[in-house]
Homo-oligomer: A and B are copies of this chain.
């Protein structure tokens, strides 16, 4: 049976990228690799919409999150963490592990953060040095208002905005320079359509000022050393050569597709899926703004998510993700990122309908695929 990866990371990788990465390994201190590295640097600036350097780390996304913290903050600093899911929670854990004082803006799972509450925190407490948030919270399928929050932090010289864009960058607009984000983190195994193992980070001028004062210990994730080496088209430590070669191919493809089209692709796949789920009588988990990286849907209560997930996997070879913590068994999460397009998405919606029918859910069979097809027809 053919397998379809519809999890919000890892994702399917285009065949041509897999083959690029399967080519014989080249050394990283060669002209050939320097040229690829230079091309990749430009490509990353293109997708980050920035003039700043975008660092490439041999680490998964969490490594870059840790990097964002250790390169900007100091022991005892107070930070405000937007915690509306598993990844928001992770900002808190990283910060506490490094001896920061964490204030949490708790957001109910499924809801988006309220920018006015962030502003209230900052007005109330002048000691807050950074706001840490997710552009897209992958555990709940929610988009947080990065633009609105950046407008609050941009006005302040003494507060930086650290954004986990791991399921945001290359999914929906997060123009680094225009928004005035201070640190933006991304990861290869998401919209970049690559295997896991690389993560990315950019730093604003304000963030570099914080770097100068930062006393948190760092070595492997030291962004200054990343910057110095990147400018010479190399890395401080052995880079993940094969993944970077794959990245070069992906970024070439992205230039051809164009950022507008990339964002539109995710928008449309997300909208079509959302409307299809409604059409077959399923309730969306997201009450706030939905992320266009993935769709999160409640399973019918009498069926539960586990049976849907295993039905998709066993009968159709389709892998989707379940819920975490208190959402476990209640929801399933289906991705719009990676090497998937309209036909794949319709195929998964059809499979969801079939599985639900077999499990006794009552709905108009075919309504999901019809609804989605109508939305995707003229994409």
A102 interface residue (CB < 8 Å to B): no
- Within 1-28 of A, Cβ neighbours of B (below 8 Å) are at 3, 5, 7, 9-13, 18-19, 21-28
For A321, the chain B residues whose CB sits under 8 A away are: 27, 29
In the complex, per-residue mask of A85-105: 1 if CB is within 8 Å of any chain B CB, else 0:
000000001100111000000
For A11, the chain B residues whose CB sits under 8 A away are: 25
Return A161 CB to nearest CB of chain B, in Å: 20
Closest residue of B by beta carbon distance from A95: B219
For A222, the chain B residues whose CB sits under 8 A away are: 97
For A236, the chain B residues whose CB sits under 8 A away are: 62
Return A12 CB to nearest CB of chain B, in Å: 6
Complex CA gap A319/B26 in Å reads: 9
Complex CA gap A196/B239 in Å reads: 6
A196 contact from B62, B99, B216, B240, Cβ within 8 A: B240
- Within 193-215 of A, Cβ neighbours of B (below 8 Å) are at 195-198
12 contacts between A and B (CB under 8 A): A3-B24, A10-B27, A12-B25, A13-B24, A13-B25, A18-B23, A19-B22, A28-B196, A63-B63, A66-B220, A220-B221, A240-B240
A242 interface residue (CB < 8 Å to B): yes
A5 contact from B7, B24, B196, Cβ within 8 A: B24
Complex CA gap A163/B132 in Å reads: 36
A195 contact from B9, B66, B240, Cβ within 8 A: B240
A189 interface residue (CB < 8 Å to B): yes
For A12, the chain B residues whose CB sits under 8 A away are: 24-25
Return A331 CB to nearest CB of chain B, in Å: 15
